[in-house]
């Protein structure tokens, strides 16, 4: 029996990367210690740290006006840090509510200042992304906050709004580096590492320098992006092992042809699974509207809850991990992040077809 990792996060890591980490776990670069046991101020750690920052800049095509940070606290801390830093006196923060995570981000901002709901997907039951092509942004908007991929609902933006001079901020936790994205419209991007970039414990943040001057002096140092930029993201001890793993994953990404290479593979993987659903004559049903379908999280259901339980049981037995959907959205979800191989999607697709043949 094989093992197929479709976990939603923490999710699959490239097998190659795990092998590399294993090989030097006890003795990093022949030093006789693991990377977890050396100072974050050492030359050896600094090399990993700065190299990872540079790889992110290169892979994303960031101009020199952007800084890359490694933060603690998960993407969830960013839901609070964003308004703490950028929702300044007399301004209102604009939120797009398109699913569970953007709802959480909005909820935190409301505790910290004035917000306005710019678009909502609530009427569609979060099955499609709200259209942002005609977005009207009121005066005195501090920033516009969007989520590129709603992990739980399985919906994704395939283009982003033009917000003019108003800073555009995006949570890209579940699709960063899965496809090319022009970073220039964004002022701030953040992403928890544990889906496409590495293990949990580090959040990647990309900040345009122009935002730094907006940050109130009164913020505690640790919560201010200015502090982290000033110290090259070494203000306090970074999550060294997570950053080390992110560094290895980034190099793996380069070997795969960068975000362009990933995008081709991710398209193929998602197409394979959505085709199985679409050709099942109603036995399976994709939950997301076609135009918003996520290439990272394929959410679907079967025609009856009895069959769904049977399917989940069989999937588990056959080594397919993480297919049970999130408790908020229910049903089934296959998370097919960058590190999930095409062959694993093929195995899942074949299994679903066979299950239909036996139970349809
Ligand atoms: N945003 C998105 C899009 C997510 O998928 C998640 C986690 N699944 C979060 C935020 C929260 O991340 P964390 O658990 O790292 O705080």
Place of tokens 């990377």: 35
- Residue-wise pLDDT tens digits, 290-313: 999 999 999 999 989 899 999 999
Catalytic-labelled residue, pool 106, 171, 175, 269: 171
Residue 2 has pLDDT above 90, yes or no: no
Confidence band of 330 (pLDDT split at 50, 70, 90): confident
pTM of the model: 0.97
Residue from 100, 102, 173, 204 whose mutation best tests the ligand 1 pocket (most atoms within 8 A of CB): 173
Partners of residue 188 on adjacent β-strands:
169, 207
Residue 1 has pLDDT above 80, yes or no: no
Q: Whose CA is nearest to atom 12 of ligand 1?
A: 75
Q: Is 108 in the pocket of ligand 1 (CB under 6 A)?
A: no
Residue 153 annotated in active site: no
Q: Which of 60, 3, 4 is nearest to 336 (CA)?
A: 4
Whole-Å CA distances, 263 to 134, 227, 273, 343? 27, 34, 16, 16
Q: Which atom of ligand 1 is nearest to the CA of 150?
A: 3
Give the Å distance between the CA of 76 and the centre of ligand 1. 6
Report the distance separating Cα 342 and Cα 269, nearest Å: 6
- Residue-wise pLDDT tens digits, 8-45: 999 999 999 999 999 999 999 888 999 999 999 999 99
Q: Which atom of ligand 1 is nearest to the CA of 192?
A: 15
Residue 171 annotated in active site: yes
Residue 275 has pLDDT above 80, yes or no: yes
Per-residue DSSP letters for 126-147? Answer: TSSPPP-TT----TTEEEEEEE
Q: Which atom of ligand 1 is nearest to the CA of 77?
A: 16
Give the Å distance between the CA of 326 and the centre of ligand 1. 12
What the block records as the tokens of 339 is 């590190």
Q: Which of 156, 193, 188, 116 is nearest to 289 (CA)?
A: 156
- Residue-wise pLDDT tens digits, 189-243: 999 999 999 999 999 999 999 999 999 999 999 999 999 999 999 999 999 999 9
Give the long-range contacts of residues 77-80, CB within 8 A, separation 24 or more: 77/203, 78/105, 78/171, 78/190, 78/203, 78/205, 79/104, 79/105, 79/107, 79/108, 79/109, 80/108, 80/112
Do the Cβ atoms of 202 and 40 come closer than 8 Å?
Answer: no
Residue 195 annotated in active site: yes
Give the Å distance between the CA of 106 and the centre of ligand 1. 14
Using CB atoms within 10 Å of the CB of residue 88, give its burial: 0 to 12 exposed, 13 to 18 middle, 19+ buried.
Answer: middle
Q: Is 308 in the pocket of ligand 1 (CB under 6 A)?
A: no
Q: Is 173 in the pocket of ligand 1 (CB under 6 A)?
A: yes
Q: Which atom of ligand 1 is nearest to the CA of 149?
A: 3
- Provide CB contacts within 8 A for 125, sequence distance 6+: none
Do the Cβ atoms of 316 and 243 come closer than 8 Å?
Answer: no
What percent of the chain is modeled with pLDDT above 90? 96
pLDDT at residue 329 in the model: 74
pLDDT at residue 326 in the model: 83
């Amino acid at each position: 029996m094989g093992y197929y990792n479709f976990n939603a996060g923490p999710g699959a890591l490239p097998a190659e990367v795990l092998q590399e980490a294993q090989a030097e776990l006890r003795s990093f670069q022949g030093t006789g210690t693991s990377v977890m046991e050396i100072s974050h101020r050492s030359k050896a750690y600094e090399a990993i740290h700065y190299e990872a920052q540079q790889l992110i800049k290169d892979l994303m095509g960031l101009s020199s006006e952007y800084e890359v940070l490694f933060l603690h606290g998960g993407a969830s801390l960013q839901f609070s840090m964003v308004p703490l830093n950028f929702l300044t006196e007399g301004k209102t923060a604009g939120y797009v509510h398109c699913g569970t995570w953007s709802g959480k981000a909005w909820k935190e901002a409301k505790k910290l200042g004035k917000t306005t709901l710019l678009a909502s997907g609530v009427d569609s039951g979060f099955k499609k992304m709200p259209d942002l092509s005609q977005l009207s942004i009121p005066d005195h908007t501090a920033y516009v906050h969007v989520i590129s991929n709603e992990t739980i609902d399985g919906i994704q933006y395939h283009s982003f709004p033009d917000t003019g001079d108003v800073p555009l901020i995006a949570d890209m936790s579940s699709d960063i580096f899965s496809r090319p994205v022009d970073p220039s419209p964004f002022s701030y991007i953040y992403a928890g590492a544990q889906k496409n970039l590495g293990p949990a414990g580090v959040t990647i943040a990309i900040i345009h320098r122009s935002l730094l001057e907006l940050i109130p002096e009164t913020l505690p140092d640790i919560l201010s992006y200015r502090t982290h930029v000033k110290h090259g993201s070494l203000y306090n001890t970074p999550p060294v092992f997570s950053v080390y793993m992110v560094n290895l994953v980034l190099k793996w990404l380069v070997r795969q042809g960068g975000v362009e290479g990933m995008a081709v593979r991710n398209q193929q993987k998602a197409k394979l699974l959505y085709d199985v659903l679409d050709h099942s004559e109603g036995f399976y049903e994709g939950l997301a509207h076609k135009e918003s379908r996520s290439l990272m999280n394929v959410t679907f259901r079967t025609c009856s809850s009895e069959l769904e339980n049977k399917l989940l049981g069989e999937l588990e037995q056959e080594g397919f991990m993480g297919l049970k959907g999130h408790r908020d959205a229910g049903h089934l979800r296959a998370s097919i992040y960058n590190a999930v191989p095409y062959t694993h999607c093929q195995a899942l697709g074949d299994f679903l077809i066979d299950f239909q043949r036996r139970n349809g």
